[in-house]
């Protein structure tokens, strides 16, 4: 696991975007895993800028969204399919038909989850998975206590997560109680994971992720076992890290050829 501490969320977005552009330069038909929430937005802003101003080409890429609410009407502005379309798909050169999301309205959710796993596998697996981090350490919607070997499935949200996400709805009562999310095992299959976290509210979760024990109570800590994870955090999110100075030293001394 590599930990990179940057000045602010915008710089984090630019650095994460460099990982995406480097991948696309090597593998134009790469498979991306897309997260929602506030953390990846600066990344999507930078990819949109590069598409418009620098000709970044995602036309051969494929993308799979990380999760979706169960039961939200199609086109609901807070659905993650809508968020991915609004913040990513409509702003870059990717073919919308190649951007996939879990189906939170499927009549048979269990079968739909299995089909989503099959679709990821049939696409060749995720080359680069973008993640945010919940204040309780969750990744995707894999809440504390989730199986660290889980696959795409239905999850019940904690009340903390519902409160955290209420800002995207008119009221807390509108936030669904259930979601479909890629599982921890699904995320761990990605060849490269880039996790973004910003703000003091994420500091303890970042500490647990990077320096705590591997435990289902901080699900993101399982990434300590991933062979290629890059954690990009701003100064506020890094404020509880015991080895912050070492992470800065290691990154500052990193040879350019290594990349992210």
Whether 144 contacts 189, CB under 8 Å: no
Catalytically active residues are 67, 136, 138, 143
Q: Where are the beta strands (DSSP E) in 75-221?
A: 99-100, 128-131, 153-156, 178-181, 192-197
Starting at the edge strand found earlier in the chain, the sheet holding 99-100 runs: 2-6, 229-234, 192-197, 128-131, 31-34, 62-65, 99-100
Q: CA 97, CA 80: separation in Å to the nearest integer?
A: 16
How do 128-131 and 153-156 pair as beta strands?
A: unpaired
Residues paired with 139 in a beta bridge: 142
Kindly give, in sequence order, each residue whose CB lies less than 8 Å from that of residue 94, ignoring residues fewer than 6 positions away: 58, 59, 61, 63, 88
Helix ranges (DSSP H) in the chain: 9-26, 41-53, 80-87, 109-122, 159-165, 184-188, 203-211, 244-252
Kindly give, in sequence order, each residue whose CB lies less than 8 Å from that of residue 130, ignoring residues fewer than 6 positions away: 16, 32, 33, 34, 35, 40, 43, 66, 194, 195, 196
The conformation of residue 60, written as its DSSP 8-state character, comes to T
Q: CA 54, CA 47: separation in Å to the nearest integer?
A: 10
Task: Give the helix/strand (H/E) hosting 172.
Answer: none
């Amino acid at each position: 696991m590599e930990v990179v501490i940057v000045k602010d969320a915008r710089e984090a977005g630019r650095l994460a975007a460099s990982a995406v552009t480097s991948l696309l330069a090597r593998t134009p038909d790469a498979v991306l895993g897309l997260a929602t929430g506030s953390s990846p937005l600066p990344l999507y802003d930078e990819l949109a800028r590069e598409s418009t101003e620098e000709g970044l080409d995602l036309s051969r890429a494929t993308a799979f969204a990380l999760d979706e609410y169960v039961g939200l009407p199609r086109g609901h502005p807070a659905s993650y399919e809508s968020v991915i379309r609004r913040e990513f798909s409509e702003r870059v050169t990717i073919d919308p038909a190649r951007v996939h999301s879990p189906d939170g309205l499927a009549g048979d959710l269990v079968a739909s989850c299995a089909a989503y796993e099959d679709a990821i596998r049939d696409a060749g697996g995720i080359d680069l998975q973008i993640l945010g981090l919940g204040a309780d350490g969750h990744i995707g919607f894999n809440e504390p206590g989730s199986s660290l070997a889980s696959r795409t499935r239905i999850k019940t949200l904690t009340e903390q997560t519902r409160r955290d996400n209420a800002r995207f709805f008119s009221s807390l009562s509108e936030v669904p109680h259930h979601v479909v999310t890629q599982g921890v095992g699904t995320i761990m299959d990605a060849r490269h994971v880039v996790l973004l976290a910003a703000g003091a509210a994420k500091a303890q979760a970042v500490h647990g992720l990077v320096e705590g024990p591997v435990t289902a109570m901080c699900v993101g800590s399982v990434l300590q076992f991933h062979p290629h994870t890059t954690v990009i955090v701003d100064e506020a999110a890094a404020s509880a890290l015991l080895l912050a100075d070492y992470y800065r030293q290691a990154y500052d001394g990193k040879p350019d050829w290594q990349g992210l």
